[in-house]
Every structure is written in C-alpha cells, then in structure tokens.
Structure 1
Amino acid sequence: MVGTLSAHAQARQSAPPPDPAAVQRGAYLLTAANCASCHTIPGSGSAHQLAGGRALPTPFGVFFSPNITPDPIHGIGGWTFGDFKRALRRGVSPSNTHYYPVFPYTSYTGMSDSDIEDLWAYLGSVPPVSQPNRPHELGFPYSLRLAMAPWKVLFLDQGPLKPEPGRPPEWNRGRYLVNAVAHCADCHAPRNLLGAVDRGRTMSGTRERLEGYEVPNITPDIQTGIGRWSVGDITGLLAGRGMRAMHVGGPMREVVRNTSRLSEADRTAMAVYLKSLPPRFGEVEPGGMMGGMCH
C-alpha cells in the first residue's frame, strides 16, 4: 500500500501543472462548499488550512475531519483523480472502505464531472501539511463501516444532478448550489434513526443541535420559515449585508463568510431556489435575527 501511495504521489508530482483557470474555479467551489470550515481546526492558522482534525460531535459519536491537503502520507497526495471522484460520488475511499455520511457525499455526488475536476485541481495546488488524521470516536455498532453498504442502497442517490427541464437556468443553478455544492440540507433537515436526512422534511430545520445551535427552517413557510423573506433578503444575508446578517450566529457565521465571497448571481440563484421550495412547518423559526441559523 505504501508503495502504491508513493507511486501515485510521484505520478502526481511529475504531472503537468494544472490549468490556472481550473485552480481558480476549484477555489471558488471549495468556498461554496464550505470545505475549509470542516477540514481546518478553528484557530489553527493558515499553516494548517485543510489539514483536518476538527471535531464534529454527532448523536453517533465524535467524528474528526481528515487531512485533504496533498500530503502523500496523511493527506490525499497519494490519491488519483479517480479516487477523488469516487469518494465524492460513491463515498468510498481508495482502500475501498465506506465513508460515513458526516462527509456529505450524499450531496457532493450531485456535482458535475467538470466541477469535481476543478476542485481536484485546486486541492492539488495547496501546500501539503504533514498532520496525521485522528481516528473517529464511535461506539458499537456505529464503528462498523460495513453497515454503510446497505445504508447507501437506501439513502445514496448517485449523481450527477441533472438540470430540471423547463426550469430557468437561474433556478437550476440555485438548485445545484444548494443541494450539491453547499449541501444545505445536511444541516437544515432532521435525520432519521439511521442518520440519513429526512427527505420529507428537507430544509425544514431541526432541534438537533449543531455545535450548540438549533437549525432553523429555510423553506418558505409563512409561520415558521422564510415565507416573509424576499429574494433580496436572502441574498443580502448570504452576502453578509444588512441587519439579518449582523445577527447570524454559530457555524452559520463561517458559511456566510464563504457565501459572501460568491458572485451576486450565484447568491441570487440560491435565494430564488429556496423561495421556490414547498413550504414545510418547522420546529425552529429563523426569526428576524437568524441567531441560530447554521450550516
């Protein structure tokens, strides 16, 4: 295995440098997907960017994000592009083990081939960090990765996500960003007993706390959601503008820090899509301050 990793790492090092435009597009996608927030320990500084190790507490145990820098030993420097694509599309590692869905491959599977290629190009351009990965702290039976195989049969709809015919390009762009790249439902929806997103209540929020914060309803329900919000209100929050954005709390602050770096067209597309969703009653209202809104 070590020899294989070494060969892959050498092949990657000897490969021609990636297209600068692809690297730039990949950096944009990494921002939209909020990758650095999960794959970097808060306060660890730029020298440990994307080196993993952030604790992600869940009802099933504590997960620790992995190193996704191109370090050949602890990161993804020994991976091929095929390995990377399979991880995002199928939730499978280069050694054929199943990833837990705390890694949101159930959303990333919807990403287009070209976007996965661009993201790969960017990750190959960042400085490698030799930081070992920390094992997850899971009790039985959640420590059994083999259980993920039947789980995927039930809950993984392998992508890519196809545009819906008859819908405007702006709406399809928003749908793609919200569902595949930004993976909003992974936080803004309750989960069932098997840890999968409850598809019947997607985007309706949950009282299951994320880093101490309840997650609000972002469907256009008048009483408990964003039904009284305009597209401009949502776009402004994602841009970090206005009173609503000033009071964003918890992990959503990191999300808004990233969405504020997206284009206005993409933020508007996301808002248009969210406003088009079927209204669903939620247990947690966004309110005027959005204090608990989190990703």
Structure 2
Amino acid sequence: MKPAVYGLLALAVIGGVTGWFITRPTALPSTVSDRLTGDAEAGERVFLASGCASCHMGTDDGADPKLLLGGAAFQTQFGTFYAPNISPDPDHGIGDWSQAQFLNAVMRGVSPEGQHYFPAFPYTSYTKADPQDMADLYAYMMTLPADATPSRAHDVAFPFDIRRSVGLWKVLYMNRDWVVTGDLTEQETQGRYLAEALAHCAECHTPRGALGGLDRAAWLEGAPNPSGSGRIPPISGADFTWSAFDISAYLETGFTPSFDVAGGSMAKVIANLGQLEKPELDAIAAYILRAAQQ
C-alpha cells in the first residue's frame, strides 16, 4: 500500500502547487507603467467614460461626483460589496498608490498588497483598456479632493471571501478578447472600446452564470438585478428596438424614446457619459446596434 499512498501524496502536492501557481495574482510587467506619463486633462474624459463616480461618489443626496469616498452597497448572491474610498487620501484612499499600482488594480484586479480584488470591481472590462488611458485616469484622479472616510469591509461569507480563489475565477472569465468582432467601421470600433472597455456596459446589462462570470452568448441582453429587485433591461437582442439616435440621445439626456427618464444607478451613469462629446455617444450607439447583429 505504501507506493499507492506515496503516489497519492505526490499527486496532492503537485495539484496543490499547480493550483497555487494558477491562482496567483499576476501583475502587469513593470515596463508598461515605466514608459507612460499620465495627462490629467485627458484623464477627465476617461473618468467620465469609465463611470468611476457612478459607484464611488458618496451616497448622500447631492453628493459631489468628484469626491470619491465610496460607501455604495452592491448586493449579489455571493454577499454585499461596498465601493471603497478611491479619493487621493493617503491613508484611506489611493493617495499613496504609484501609477504602476493603480494600473495593476484597474487592469489586473491586483491590490498594492498583491492580493486579488473581488470582481465586483469591473477590472474584467478595464483590462481591455489602453494603458495610456489608465495612466491619464490616474493623473486626473490624483487632482480630485481627498477624503478620510474609511472604506467599509465587504460582507462576504465563506468560502467566497477567500481571495485566492478569485485567481481561478480570473482564469475562467478574465480575458482581453473583444466580444463584438468582425469587420467593424471606425465608428463601431471606437464605440466598442468605449462600451466594452471603459463604460463596461456589459457588467450590468449581461446575465451571469452560477459563478458570476458574464454570459458572452447573451451579451447585453439584460440581466436580473443583483439586488433581487427587478431586472436590468436589455440593450441588445430582439426585445431592444431603439435606433442609433434614440441610444445617443438617451446617453446624453437621460430621456427614453417614450419620454421616460433614467433612474437609479443608470441616472448616475448618464450624468457621466452625457458629458462626453456627441461623436463618442454616437459611436457607443453604433456599437450597440452592431452588437445586436453579432
């Protein structure tokens, strides 16, 4: 029996080492950040397109969208996640982060301490972003007001609170491949970048599987609200009949074709996206219509 036992032990050790290696946090090469210099002025556009304030601004009525003290709660089947303070406060925000640490957090989901962030943080979308845009975003965010409000700890039960397990989740669901492909026009390509990488539209408008990964086969076709109340509407598929003009106008003004008004979290999204240039909103609209043909 001893050879069999030793064999099983060896397999267990090999499996453990392999699993530990596969689930390790993987940072960007240091050369990526080293060659970049952020432009704060350009970063404001990235800030608006990425919707940072939509989640990280304060929860009080009339909260300043540039004061990123966090606090918003996001309920999921895995627990409740709270948006952290990402203001430039050095103690409770990201004020002591380097540009490289910021890029690793946003594009790889890896904290300055070398741990996985939970994927409630939409780094699976931001990983497709141009590193220069993320460097510009970092430069801009460091110009915003600091706030010393401590971040609230997530309320996530075992085993979902094991951050190392997020490494396996990343293996399954995190990649830089575009979902909408083919012979896209220049406008559709621009819209794809804005919608898939920066604005991360799919994070809310696409259903998820049992482990929380996006169902790419039902891209933008609507999803159950993670809070358990209602449903996030489709922006693609047979049930979505808006024109390019309808989509662009909605992103700019918040008014639907039937003159209803965006509410809830979408109102915050539009408060940011609506400040982009009209050609950029038109590009997102073109992309969404192209996605419906995929």
Provide the TM-score with structure 2 as the length reference: 0.80
- 1:50–1:67 Cα contact (<8 Å) kept: yes
Distance 1:242 1:158 in 2: 33
- Runs of 4+ with deviation above 6 angstroms: 161-165
Distance 1:274 1:71 in 2: 37
From the superposition, tell whether residues 141 and 169 of structure 1 become closer, same or farther in structure 2 (CA, over 3 Å).
Answer: same
For structure 2, list consecutive stretches of 5 or more residues without a partner in the other structure. Answer: 1-36
- 1:41–1:52 Cα contact (<8 Å) kept: yes
State the identity %.
Answer: 36
Number of residue pairs matched? 256
Q: Does the residue aligned with 2:105 lie in a helix, a strand or coil?
A: helix
Deviation, structure 1 residue 100: 0.7
| Structure 1 position 170 matched with structure 2 position 183 | no
From the superposition, tell whether residues 78 and 162 of structure 1 become closer, same or farther in structure 2 (CA, over 3 Å).
Answer: farther
Distance 1:162 1:35 in 2: 23
For structure 1, list consecutive stretches of 5 or more residues without a partner in the other structure. Answer: 1-17, 281-295
Distance 1:192 1:162 in 2: 17
| 1:196 counterpart residue number | 213
1:144-200, Cα deviation, whole Å (9 max, x unpaired) = 1111011111111047x6996853221111000010000000000111111111111
Q: Map residues 87-236 of structure 1 onto 2, 5 A cutoff.
A: 87-158=105-176, 166-210=183-227, 212-221=229-238, 224=239, 226=240, 228-236=241-249
Distance 2:66 2:196 in 1: 28
Distance 1:211 1:102 in 2: 16
From the superposition, tell whether residues 188 and 133 of structure 1 become closer, same or farther in structure 2 (CA, over 3 Å).
Answer: same
Distance 2:65 2:126 in 1: 26
- 2:58–2:64 Cα contact (<8 Å) kept: no
| Structure 1 position 268 matched with structure 2 position 287 | no
Distance 2:191 2:97 in 1: 31
Provide the TM-score with structure 1 as the length reference: 0.80
Distance 1:279 1:109 in 2: 25
Give the CA RMSD over aligned residues.
2.4
| Structure 1 position 76 matched with structure 2 position 90 | no
Q: Which residue of 233, 236, 253 maps to 2:267?
A: 253
